[in-house]
Amino acid sequence: MLNIKGESEGLQTLGIVVVVCTSVKLLHFLGLIDFSDNKVEDELEMAIVCHRPEGLGQLQAQTNFTKRELQVLYRGFKNECPSGVVNEDTFKQIYSQFFPHGDASMYAHYLFNAFDSAHNGSIKFEDFVMALSVLLRGTVHEKLRWTFNLYDINKDGYINKEKMDKNKDGVVTIDEFIESCLQDENIMRSLQLFENVM
């Protein structure tokens, strides 16, 4: 007989790790983060940044990024997305490069929807930065809420799977999700893996 609780916990951990790893890989692919310690290169990148988005100070206040980090992120975002927005097809193309074997388009669709906070079919720089701020530097509760939003496919406030369904009513609420995740050591460790990536 299969261990349902163990399977649930494994799926939870896998889901969170995939979201965080994918976001980090996407940042690295876009040239927004570099895992080397080459400070000269970082200084050169800052000298190249000419255009700043409207409301940089407001974004700095709303995120856990410094002004310098926002400038670097914006430069990379504009290099890859000159129009200033990413549509779902472009997002899927970028995402598929991380998963060349198999069809990852359905998961990319859900991930895109989680980044698209305005639900208008495009990801603006502000959407991108707000999500990254949560995933890379948010509190545990912020990360878990973002992850819950990813799995809440129809945006009705529930995850419609049996994993983490504490009261066995067929749906998982945000409170049940957070409670289950907070009690899982693997999930807690996974959430802390990339806190100092940038």
> In this predicted model, what pLDDT tens digit does every residue of 82-126 receive, in sequence order?
888 888 998 888 888 777 777 788 888 989 999 998 889 989 888
pLDDT of residue 46: 37
Q: What does DSSP assign to residue 125?
A: H
d(CA 18, CA 163): 17
Contact 77, 125 (CB under 8 A): yes
CB distance 173 to 157 below 8 Å? yes
pLDDT value at residue 153: 82
Give the model confidence (pLDDT) of 142-162 as tens digits: 999 998 988 888 888 888 765
Contact 116, 89 (CB under 8 A): no
Which carries the bigger pLDDT value, residue 123 or residue 55? 123
pTM across the whole model: 0.66
d(CA 54, CA 142): 25
Residue 187 has pLDDT above 90, yes or no: no
Q: What are the φ and ψ backbone dihedral angles of 51, each rounded to 5 degrees?
A: -100, 130
